[in-house]
A and B are shown apart, each in its own frame.
Chain A
Amino acid sequence: MESLLAGCIGFLTACGVFLLLRGRTFPVVVGLTMLSYAVNLFLFSSGRLTLQGAAVLGTTDNYADPLPQALVLTAIVIGFAMTAYLVILAIRARADLGNDHVDGKLPGNESSRKESR
């Protein structure tokens, strides 16, 4: 279970970082979302992995650490809000700047842009 979770977190982080380094706003937003998924899984695992462990005292002998769950919940809420804001900002930037590049202008000159089409 540990290696599976570690692999998932690593794969999500790698994809997130790769997409974060792209030039258009949409891949960047998706990259940040993936990065925040990876972070959420990672935070969850910081309380150690337990199967069938209750986070409430007095029900079983096998307990899970409740604090990472609270932390993850906070991180998810904040992550959602921030992503929503970023999506709106990206749409606004598309309208204001005339393209969806993160720097507000397309790289290269007129001719190279035509070729890429």
Chain B
Amino acid sequence: MSHLIIAPILLPIFTALLIMLPPIHYSPMRRRWVSMISTVILLILTGCLLWQTQAEGVSFYALGAWQPPFGIILVADIFSVSMVCLTSVLALGAICYGSAGEDERGSFFHPLFQFQLMGINGAFLTGDLFNLFVFFEVLLIASYGLLVHAGGKNKTKAAVHYVVLNLAGSAVFLFSLGILYGTLGTLNIADMAVQVAKLPPENLMLVKSGGLLLLIVFALKAAILPLQFWLPATYSAASPPVAALFAVMTKIGVYALLRVYTTIFGEQAGPLAGMASDWLWPLGLATIMLGAIGVLASQDFRKLVANLVIISVGTLVTLVALQSNAATSAVLFYTVHSTLVCGALFLLADVIGAQRGKAGDRLVPGRRMAQPALLGSLFVVAAVSVAGLPPLSGFVGKLMILQAASSPVQQIFLWSVVLLSSLMVLIGLARAGSVLFWRVSGNEAGPERVLPLQAFALGWLLLAAPLMVVFAGPLTELSFAAAEQIRDIQSSIAIILGDTATVGDQP
């Protein structure tokens, strides 16, 4: 049993504790360097884990050597490890940007950031539904702290909404866990898949209601249509590196949806198979349209980027509803692309806002920027990529999404909604870019410049857009392998629970 699987959880928590010790805590430079170096190590470790998982297939780590289904396990398959890898890439960018000065505007930025990383990595890796709840809470309480970092009226107001909503969501999560444990007798995701397949008919409706309560919780975390109103205010109020890291938080909701409704309530689940798809498909499409309208209606650049996050979530949820190998692999590719680009856009919005002085990132004429060429080219890369134009990563992602629709009905809805939303995003971004960069009011540029660490962070995240096209071959192969693995429930259950456990076709 390899201990590497638990490293992405242990490293951030020990780093957070180390940063809070006096010799490091009292020196801002030491705090920054420890945090950055630890994130680099995390990136290397998750890279190794991905390489190992690709070579050896699904593996699991039983905490305290308590064997499943009784103990808590962490499961490493290509999908979950890729998400952890993505988190560490994004985190390195965000933490470098934060270390350029943003971290000193409040206290405990770095420890909270590391705790949040621990929660995110744990939520991706865990193979136990209650443990997923615990890691959700870990990442949420860290995010509550990070959200009010640097203070201010807007942040406090957004934080009250965010905290109350998520606490209500946690209560619903516990209700559904109670129902599922009471009927299935287990919370291990692999074991739940086995139990659902041989469910007695009298418990059917109870399990269904428990499963659909989970849908509400994950829809709240992922910000799907009726539950997405918190997102634009929260993300645009958060300080830039925090907003960049939050770009991956909605994806955790999508990942949990995928995990639960593919593994537990997947094709083998008998009468409960695919019970969420009927809800996710229309809601996902409606979320895309709502996000696109939000992009057109946004009055400032950060709100615009927050609406881009909503569009990406809608797209991913629609793909989750499709439940096919092509759709699941498109989920992975598009998640990587949209998370990195949206994270970079949040950072870019802050840099642009700082150089425009009083006008900030509002879409009104402002003073001349000090470095229009640098920021303009970064903006073009990000905008072309996020709108899905060739030659950058969004185009490959969009292509995989369009190919995932197999039946004519799916094609009509998915193609029209995705393509129409792309057009609206393009219009919104073109308008934002022309206002921000060209409609200057003639005043001299201010003294603000992009700091080296900020430039590195922006470059690091935006480099993904061309690199994901250059390495599109291996990456799509990886995502197809991940999709096959996550949808091949039978063999992952055999690995986790031993060969005796089988799903469906009970004698």
A interface, CB within 8 angstroms of B: 16, 20, 25, 28, 32, 35-36, 38-39, 42-43, 45-48, 67-68, 71, 74-75, 78-79, 81-83, 85-86, 89-90, 92-93, 96-97, 102-104
Contact = CB atoms under 8 A, between A and B. Distances in A.
A32 B182 contact: no
Given A42-B175, A43-B177, A75-B174, A35 B160 contact: no
30 contacts: A25-B160, A28-B164, A32-B167, A32-B171, A39-B174, A39-B175, A39-B178, A42-B175, A42-B178, A43-B174, A45-B178, A46-B182, A71-B130, A71-B177, A74-B130, A74-B134, A75-B174, A78-B170, A81-B141, A82-B167, A83-B167, A86-B163, A89-B156, A89-B159, A90-B160, A93-B160, A96-B153, A97-B156, A97-B157, A104-B160
Nearest to B166: A82
Contacts of A42: 174-175, 178
B153 A104 contact: yes
- The B interface, classified by DSSP as helix, strand, loop or mixed, is helix
A103 B157 contact: yes
A3 B110 CA distance: 50
B105 interface: no
A35 B163 contact: no
Contacts of B153: 96-97, 104
Contacts of A93: 156-157, 159-160
A9 to B, nearest CB: 10
Interface of B: 130, 134, 137, 140-141, 144, 148, 151-153, 156-157, 159-161, 163-164, 167-168, 170-171, 174-175, 177-179, 181-182
Contact of B171 (A35, A97, A104): A35
A86 B164 contact: yes
Contacts of A96: 151-153, 156-157
A60 B317 CA distance: 50
A80 to B, nearest CB: 12
Contacts of A32: 164, 167-168, 171
A55 to B, nearest CB: 15
Contact of A78 (B134, B144, B161): B134
Contacts of B182: 45-48
A11 to B, nearest CB: 15
B160 A82 contact: no
A54 B170 CA distance: 29
A88 to B, nearest CB: 10
Given A25-B160, A74-B134, A89-B156, A46 B181 contact: yes
B168 A20 contact: yes
B164 A102 contact: yes
Contacts of A82: 137, 140-141, 163, 167, 170
Given A32-B171, A97-B153, 11 more contacts: A28-B164, A42-B174, A74-B134, A78-B134, A78-B170, A85-B141, A86-B163, A89-B144, A89-B148, A89-B163, A90-B160
Given A32-B168, A89-B156, A46 B179 contact: yes
B274 to A, nearest CB: 26
Nearest to A29: B164
A96 B144 CA distance: 17
Nearest to B159: A89
B171 A36 contact: yes
A14 to B, nearest CB: 13
Contacts of A47: 181-182
B409 to A, nearest CB: 38
Contacts of B181: 43, 46-47, 67-68, 71
B163 to A, nearest CB: 5
B141 to A, nearest CB: 7
A42 B173 CA distance: 12
A104 B151 CA distance: 15
B156 A92 contact: yes
A42 B159 CA distance: 28
A74 to B, nearest CB: 6
Nearest to B158: A104
A93 B162 CA distance: 13
- 10 tightest CB-CB pairs across the interface, nearest first? A46-B182, A46-B178, A104-B157, A39-B174, A43-B178, A96-B156, A35-B171, A42-B178, A46-B181, A93-B156
Contacts of B159: 89, 93
A78 to B, nearest CB: 5
A71 B141 CA distance: 19
A18 B130 CA distance: 27
Contacts of A35: 168, 171
A96 B170 CA distance: 27
A84 B179 CA distance: 27
Contacts of B164: 20, 28, 32, 86, 102
Nearest to A44: B178
A103 B178 CA distance: 32
Contacts of B134: 74, 78
B372 to A, nearest CB: 36
**Which of B141, B148, B159, B168 lies at the interface centre, i.e. has the most chain A CB atoms within 10 A of its CB?**
B168
